[in-house]
Structure 1
């Protein structure tokens, strides 16, 4: 097993093979994370996890245990295999970006969109398309009877984790969301971690 620490407000990318397990851990509790997944092919990946295609495939807002996240080509890329958190996650809200913070009066603020580009660059990859809608782990966005969305503070506890199985060779990026102007994360920003386990043993 290998572990990658994701400091508050930053992102890290890991390469995994089909069959590997990827565990996303909320180290201190109450921290939202944006998860992105791209097929691992070439220096500029094109196929990626798609929230819209996933919702269409599973007929729900977020997969249940045993169900898969799919790509924009409708292929399973990650499967949710375990969740020790309260189970409150989101695939409706886009990644925070410079325009979002400019609208909130904080130009230059770190964002998940910029974090994604930085994390991919660190492993020699780039993505020039529109930022994919992420898998927002530990993010509470209930839908009211009137269809209105609420953004509530994350209820995940220290050590809570979501475990995903890679269905394709892929690059997984995790951003410890830097949003501190809207209280989607509890208290101060805190770290996340990624643990990967190769299906045949330890992955270096």
Structure 2
């Protein structure tokens, strides 16, 4: 676990993302995004696209294969479907972040929690809403990162979704290695403990 520092360089963007809301922002190579879990235990679903060619986007498979680990820690490189470095986790105040839990959707909510959840807002809805401004659709939503989410692998290989490992004010810093478009869903899930059953705001600080 890396010690956290104040954001380096000039702040070029500083936004609060409300509970359950989407967020999209473009970062230039060399800029750093700090994600702040303001109230603790909030999952932040995260996608990446190359700004100049969004056919190149974050690849969970390439990232996991390159680092030979399913969890993301300080020093982990987020790789594209072309195998190139897109962003690097330069510091994190929680031990690890999830690559395999995926994004909640009305379909997965219905399957896991019952038909009464079908109309509930979900991360896939947020990704669709944010991506529309760039002309992307549902086919462009790939396997995502879940910052601050705790998805342990049980001894029998099953995945658990349990209380998060974050706390109020904890952070993760991610540096852009190329020009990237970041798309976030501040997870609205209320049926499992990934958000403590109560979604809360997060803060996004970009420095150059």
TM-score where L is the length of structure 2: 0.87
**Between Structure 1 and Structure 2, which shows a larger proportion of helix residues?**
2
**Partners in 1 of 2:37 and 2:103 — Cα distance?**
18
Question: Separation in 2 of the partners of 1:114 and 1:69?
Answer: 23
Aligned-CA RMSD value: 1.5
For the 8 Å contact 1:6–1:174, the answer to whether it is kept is no
- Asked if structure 1 preserves the Cα contact closer than 8 Å seen for 2:73 and 2:96, the reply is no
The alpha carbon displacement at 1:125 in A equals: 3.8
Shift of 1:62: 2.2
Corresponding residue number in structure 1 for 2:52: 41
What residue in structure 2 maps to residue 201 of structure 1? none
- List aligned pairs for 1:52-71, cutoff 5 A: 52-71=61-80
Contact (CA 8 Å) 1:101, 1:108: kept in 2 or not? no
**Aligned residues between the structures:** 194
Q: Using a 3 Å threshold, how does the CA distance of structure 1 residues 138 and 124 change in structure 2: closer, same or farther?
A: same
Bigger shift: residues 93-102 or 28-37: 93-102
Query: Of 161, 178, 196, which aligns to 2:171?
Result: 161
Q: Which residue of 1 aligns with 2:109?
A: 101
Task: Tell me what 1:152 maps to.
Answer: 162
Match of 2:83 in 1: 74
Judge conservation of contact 2:72–2:99 (CA < 8 Å) in 1.
Answer: no
Partner of 2:203: helix, strand, or coil? Answer: strand
**In 2, Cα distance between equivalents of 1:126 and 1:144:** 35
Aligned to 2:183: 173
Question: 1:84 aligned to 87, 93, 101, which one?
Answer: 93
Contact 2:67 2:76 in 1 (8 A): yes
Gaps of 5+ in 1: 199-204
Match of 1:183 in 2: 193
Aligned equivalent of 1:25: 36
